[in-house]
Amino acid sequence: MKELDTLQWRPALHYTPQRNWMNDPNGLVYYKGIYHLFYQYNPEGNVWGNMSWGHATSRNLLDWVEQPVALAANRTEEVFSGSIVVDAHNTSGLGSAALPPLVALYTSVYKPGSGHEPGVQAQSLAYSTDEGKTWRRYAHNPVLTLDPESSHFRDPKVSWYAPGGYWLMCAVVADAHVVKLYRSSNLIDWTFLSDFTLPDIPHHGALWEMPDLLPLPLDGNPANEKWVMIVNVNPWSIAGGSGAMYFVGRFDGTRFVPDDVAPAGSDPVRWQWLDHGADYYAAGTFSNAPGGKTVAIGWMGNWDYANDVPTTPWRGAMALPRELALKTVDGRPQLVFAPTESYASLVGRSPTTRIAQVGLVSSTQALPAVTRGVVQNIELTIEPGSAHRAGLVVRSSADGATGTRIFYDTQAQTLTVDRSHAGDTSFSRAYSPQHIANLPLHDGRLRLRVVVDRASVEVFADDGRAVVTDLILPTLADDRVSLFAEGGDASFRDIAVSDLSRMRQGRAHP
């Protein structure tokens, strides 16, 4: 497909590099008023390879500015995923009290001639003393290897464990379904703490990647802190292919113990997921985020078909940053998700069309022409009534043949995003048609926020109790919104469609 044709899929709200391939978010850190997003990047081309760390910065998690490549693959190694911390007290000795270093822990993947078996993975360190602009590799890398060396030991995520007064690292042995925990006083010398794994891995053959371990207050009560372990798993996700699962439990400074784990052999539905869509992977959280917030970013992609997504000259986008909270829902602690305040405020100042109520009986109704758009925030409450299915179609063509259907199924009590007729679906046989979240209604109504960007939908359901993130590839002409009820009546209330098309990536920092 020609470059001009695919520019219609360049997101306005989501970060993409100007050119070339991108996957996992890396080194998410906030420092001196700037959010840094590093990421797996191929500086040489538009498919996965030559893995390096690309870099973008933002003041508000919404306007991103691409920066020069931070850590490039070289003669001896490729640079796989990892994390960054602010070494405020210069524990590493790599900066000074006046100029505390930013310290990155990343995975070295060794090449022939490196002195390691080709393909071996180990954890290495790089640092910056100019607020993240330029990066130097530590002279005595790697800082952590397995014995015997492994070619699946990767994705170090480092945080400060305040109760113990030490740095904590989790990293995976991806093919062994193990998260390994380590501690350090200086980010250089690491001591093994424990392994986290499951007694009966339900998904042999899948990889565990990109772990994250973080504390969150339950129901906003700081006296009731729980720990959340995020494990990205590929394939075997709830929507097929790659996905982000999590466990809620306790951490005593050495060991993470989940509160409850689905029985052996159970279906992915029994596990907990950050997202129920096909395109949310490698999710991790920001270090040093202001205001005590926990903000996550995931890669809006799926390894099943990521290399085939027909965009050029770039391939890969990040999902919207989200705030995470832990809430008791249906009797158990669960993550809930909200777009960031900066996103909510963008919606608040954008032109918005409001419709108080629409009632439908087994029919479809287009919303007025003023709601047409390809970059929009749609909020509404659905009361499914006697309908079997009730919902909306976004990015719909004039004849309704093309569109992404988002609906509630009253019998199954599920929310579905159906992208089987969303536009171009031909680029990969692995591009899955439907993604479903279990969502029993609490009071017969469902509140939805749908974020539509040129090549994606993100559906936040019921105050962020479930999110479905999916890539879609419609044409610019597919810009209509409609509502529908099947097999009975349904009511739609408090509909608000905001036009966010004035948003544009890549501007200078305000």
Report strand pairing: 480-486 vs 389-396: antiparallel
Report, in Å, the least distance between residue 29 CB and ligand FRU. Answer: 17
Q: Please, which of residues 56-85 interact with ligand FRU by CB under 6 A?
A: 80-81
Report, in Å, the least distance between residue 39 CB and ligand FRU. Answer: 9
Is the Cβ of residue 107 or residue 376 nearer to ligand FRU in the bound state? 107
Is the Cβ of residue 287 or residue 377 nearer to ligand FRU in the bound state? 287
Report, in Å, the least distance between residue 287 CB and ligand FRU. Answer: 18
> Exposed, middle or buried by CB within 10 Å (0-12, 13-18, 19+), for 341?
middle
Task: Give the per-residue SS3 of 460-508.
Answer: EECCCCEEEEEECCCCCCCCEEEEEEECCEEEEEEEEEEECCCCCCCCC
Q: Please, which of residues 271-290 interact with ligand FRU by CB under 6 A?
A: 282
Is the Cβ of residue 23 or residue 396 nearer to ligand FRU in the bound state? 23
Residue 148 CB contacts under 8 Å (≥ 6 apart), including other chains:
none
Q: Does 157 bind ligand FRU (CB under 6 A)?
A: no
Q: Please, which of residues 11-40 interact with ligand FRU by CB under 6 A?
A: 23-24, 40
Report, in Å, the least distance between residue 485 CB and ligand FRU. Answer: 40
Report, in Å, the least distance between residue 355 CB and ligand FRU. Answer: 41
Q: Does 155 bind ligand FRU (CB under 6 A)?
A: yes
Is the Cβ of residue 24 or residue 478 nearer to ligand FRU in the bound state? 24
- Of 261, 248, 298, the residue nearest 277 (C-alpha): 298
The residue count for binding ligand FRU (CB under 6 A) is: 12
- CB 3 within 8 Å of CB 492: no
Is the Cβ of residue 157 or residue 419 nearer to ligand FRU in the bound state? 157
Q: Please, which of residues 107-136 interact with ligand FRU by CB under 6 A?
A: 107
Is the Cβ of residue 301 or residue 373 nearer to ligand FRU in the bound state? 301
Say which amino acid occupies 495.
I
Active site residue 267: no
Q: Which residues pair with 116 in a beta bridge?
A: none
Question: Within 13 A of 70's CA, how many CA atoms are on the CB side?
Answer: 34
Place of tokens 């480092």: 158
Q: Does 409 bind ligand FRU (CB under 6 A)?
A: no
DSSP string, 259-286: S--PPTT--GGGSEES-SSSS-EEEEE-
Q: CA–CA distance from 418 to each of 43, 252, 364, 387, 406 (Å)?
A: 34, 42, 16, 18, 6
The contact mask relative to ligand FRU for 181-210 (x = CB under 6 A, - = no) is ----------------------------xx
Give the helix ranges, DSSP H, for 182-326.
none
Is the Cβ of residue 306 or residue 461 nearer to ligand FRU in the bound state? 306
Alpha carbon of residue 83 to chain centroid: 15
Report, in Å, the least distance between residue 6 CB and ligand FRU. Answer: 23
Report, in Å, the least distance between residue 471 CB and ligand FRU. Answer: 16
Longest dimension (CA), the chain: 70
| Footprint of ligand FRU (CB under 6 A) | 23-24, 40, 51, 80-81, 107, 154-155, 209-210, 282
List residues with catalytic annotation. Answer: 24
